[in-house]
Structure 1
Amino acid sequence: MFDLDFGQPPPQQRPQHEMEAELDALAAEPEEELPPPPTFTEEELNFAREAAFEEGRQHGLAEATEATQRIVANAMAALAGQFEIVFRQQEDANDLNARNAVRVAMAVLKKMLPAACEKHAFDEVAKVVQEVVAHILDEPRIIVRVAEPLVEPVRARLEEAAEGQGFEGRVVVQADMRLAPGDARVEWTDGGAERDQARLLADIEACVERALAQPEAGIDAECVHDEFAGT
């Protein structure tokens, strides 16, 4: 009922002077001193600033180098693509030029061949016939058909050639109005041969057209060479 217990003696209080002495003692204790802040010399500060500047510079250079390398790599990739296009276009242009050159050469040949054959008709016909006769010396008779203006010159040349090669058969030279100057037909018992400039030109032209029709293979020079070799 009451907070005070009257049965117990009251607590003894410390004397006032002891309490004051204890407080004075606590107040007299020295406070813990904090370490002084670090100090730097001017030289150290300059070194630190230079080191920080150099580190930043190196970092900047590294980033710039990396960026430059990326730009160069992208540029090289773009150039490679452009080079491929340019090379392909150049190849197409070269192929077109080659084809045009062949067409021009073919046109020139068609214009020049008849005139050349007419101009050298006798020599060409005589050469062809002599080569044939040299392989059929055992034939009893050889019939040679040429354009009318060449009959007598060819007969004279063949008679001389036959005698020189030991041909004992008969050589008959006849005019054929269907033959152009420079053309000739040679007939013997089991065969014959002919020189037909119109067919030769057609064969050459067909070979050229076949070559021009092959865009990937290019001009078939061997084919054209073989056709010319047949002349």
Structure 2
Amino acid sequence: MSAPAKFMFDLDFAAPKASNTVPLADHQSKLAEAETRGYRNGFAAGQHEAAGENARRLALAMESIAHSLSMLTRGLANVELRVEAEAVEVAVATGRKLADALIAREPFAEIEALATGCFRELVTTPHVVVRLNDVLYAEAQLRLAGIARETGFDGRLLVLAEPDIAVGDCRIEWADGGMIRDRAAADAWIGETVRRFIDARAAPVQAELKGSDDE
């Protein structure tokens, strides 16, 4: 049997072994640095997440505000239209009441004004017929005759009582023309004009609101 080989490395096993132990101070320092990095990273991640959540909430809030403003604008537009329509209707209703009161107090006033204007333009007309309510017949004969003299009308004046004609209305007729004062017809025309005015004012607003709904 051959002799065992000799150990040829230049290693002194008798020398003391090197220690891998980290000093406590270094360990604590590195641990503190690691904790600081972890805190910073966690804080940054938290801030990023919070910023994202805040942005989402802000977007939702702005969307809600925009929707609320849109609804408010629509509501205000409708309120404005309603107030304007009511104001016009109140004005018309007030005018009607005033007209009723004036006619009740001076039923012949409007007839007199119309007759005066007609007689001034008809001074050479052979004859003129005035038709009015029979309640005013007696008064009308005297007052219309006076108006004819004052305006220079020297033709024949014929006053006729018509129970179907409303008090305060009249029809003035001559050979080739005539004029009518018909309060009911005038009132219907005013009502139709007011309706058209309100509809015309409402149309652009309604179109705008419909456009915002389609969007």
Q: Distance in 2 between matches of 1:72 and 1:52?
A: 29
| Unaligned ranges ≥5, structure 1 | 1-12, 219-231
The Cα shift of 1:86 comes to 4.6
Amino acid paired to 1:189: A
**Residues paired across the two proteins, number:** 194
* Aligned ranges 1:56-205 → 2 under 5 Å: 56-96=42-82, 110-146=96-132, 147-148=136-137, 149-160=139-150, 162-163=151-152, 169-170=154-155, 172-178=157-163, 179-205=165-191
TM-score by length of 1: 0.60
Moved more, 96-105 or 184-193: 96-105
**Conserved 8 A contact 2:81-2:202:** no
**Conserved 8 A contact 2:123-2:155:** no
The two structures, once aligned, show a CA RMSD in angstroms of: 4.1
* Structure with bigger gyration radius: 1
Match of 1:5 in 2: none
Q: Which has the higher contact order (CA 8 A, sep 6+)?
A: 2
Q: 1:29 aligns with which of 3, 7, 11?
A: 11
TM-score by length of 2: 0.64
Identity, % of aligned positions: 22
Q: Distance in 1 between matches of 2:19 and 2:130?
A: 132
**Conserved 8 A contact 1:158-1:171:** no
Q: Distance in 1 between matches of 2:38 and 2:116?
A: 101
Distance 1:155 1:55, change over 3 A: farther
